[in-house]
Amino acid sequence: MSAGSARPAAESIAAAVLECPLVVRLGGGGVGEPATYLPGRRITGVAVRDETVEVSVVGTVGATAADLDDQVRRAVLPLVGERQLHVAFADIETPAESPPS
């Protein structure tokens, strides 16, 4: 997949994930964490590949893994086409713990 075609998909997927009430923020930033690299920047927490999409999320305290997974999948599946979706849970925290954007 070219960087040009990954960009709109990764941006749309990131936006959809961040709209999920149980998601505090996208996960990632560490070695091996999903990211989409674009000219001059990267979208951490979302990796769009030819056959797969990987999403890493930080969930809110009190959210079950099943509820978080379900919410993210419902938001993202319409955007991934025929690709397999892999959702990873990077951490759990309260919204107040999130680092500034």
Question: Out of 3.30.70.1350, 1.25.40.10, 3.40.50.2000, 3.20.20.70, which CATH number does the structure's domain 3-95 have?
Answer: 3.30.70.1350
Distance of CA 76 to the CA centre of its chain: 9
Answer yes or no: are the C-beta atoms of 5 and 11 closer than 8 Å: no
Q: Side chain identity at 12, as an amino acid letter?
A: S
2 pLDDT exceeds 60? no
DSSP string, 58-98: EEETT--HHHHHHHHHHHHHHHHTTSEEEEEEEEEE-GGGS
Model pLDDT for residues 87-98, shown as the tens digit of each residue: 999 998 876 655
Q: What is the pTM of this model?
A: 0.83
Answer yes or no: are the C-beta atoms of 42 and 4 closer than 8 Å: no
